[in-house]
């Protein structure tokens, strides 16, 4: 990202990241408040208007925490470009509704398999189901796992872009005020 980049350039880069598993911003760090500050990785699934989208298991600890406090930050770093992007916003969740079902139907079967497992972080009881068994379950019922599937849209309040350079770092903030206010700030 260069100093003259617009918000549309950032959307293009994030859209590319959502569609490319090898892009530096495809997997982002998600920070949220639980009993303490937590951080985990999420896969950038999509960009829509002033939102970014990721998916989660309904039983995961992050979903319980985000229900209580939907304010989050996402962080990505591109080591080749020496750029950091930080996104701050509020999560709106879709679980068990038409939006979750709509997104479910657009997903590859391989992406649906993990939602058949019990919630992440609970004690394991026995051996997990084999990939073959998970595929058989999905073939028998295309909605198996949907009850555990959550679509999370982060409504963006601010994007903070930091570009590291030996001749002086650059930092820009893109603030969502119904339109985008862009300002250069001290790096």
Residue 138 has a pLDDT of 92
Residues of the chain with pLDDT under 50: 1-3
Residues 6+ away with beta carbon under 8 Å from 169: 162, 163, 187
User: According to the model, what pLDDT value does residue 30 have?
Assistant: 98
| This model's pTM is above 0.85 | yes
Tokens of 13: 């880069």
Full DSSP string of 74-104: EEEEETTTTEEEEEEEEEEEEESSHHHHHHH
Residue 155, pLDDT score: 98
Separation CA 120–CA 70 (nearest Å): 20
**Domains in the chain: ranges and CATH:** 7-120+129-185 (2.30.110.10)
Give residue 5's pLDDT: 66
Beta-strand relationship, 37-43 and 27-33: antiparallel
């Amino acid at each position: 990202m260069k100093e003259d980049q617009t918000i549309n350039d950032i959307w293009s880069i994030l859209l590319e990241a959502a569609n490319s598993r090898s892009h530096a911003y495809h997997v982002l760090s998600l920070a949220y408040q639980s009993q303490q500050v937590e951080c985990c990785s999420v896969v950038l699934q999509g960009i829509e208007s002033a939102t970014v989208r990721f998916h989660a298991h309904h039983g995961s600890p992050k979903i319980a925490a985000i229900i209580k406090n939907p304010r989050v930050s996402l962080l990505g770093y591109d080591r080749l470009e020496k750029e950091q992007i930080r996104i701050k916003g509020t999560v709106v969740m879709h679980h068990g509704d038409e939006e979750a079902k709509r997104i479910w139907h657009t997903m590859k079967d391989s992406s649906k398999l993990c939602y058949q497992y019990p919630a992440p972080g609970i004690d394991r009881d026995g051996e997990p189901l084999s990939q073959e068994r998970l595929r058989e379950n999905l073939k028998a019922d295309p909605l198996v796992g949907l009850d555990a599937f959550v679509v999370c849209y982060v409504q963006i309040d601010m994007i903070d872009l930091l570009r590291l350079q030996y001749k002086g770092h650059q930092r820009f903030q893109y603030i969502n005020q119904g339109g985008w206010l862009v300002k250069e700030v001290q790096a």
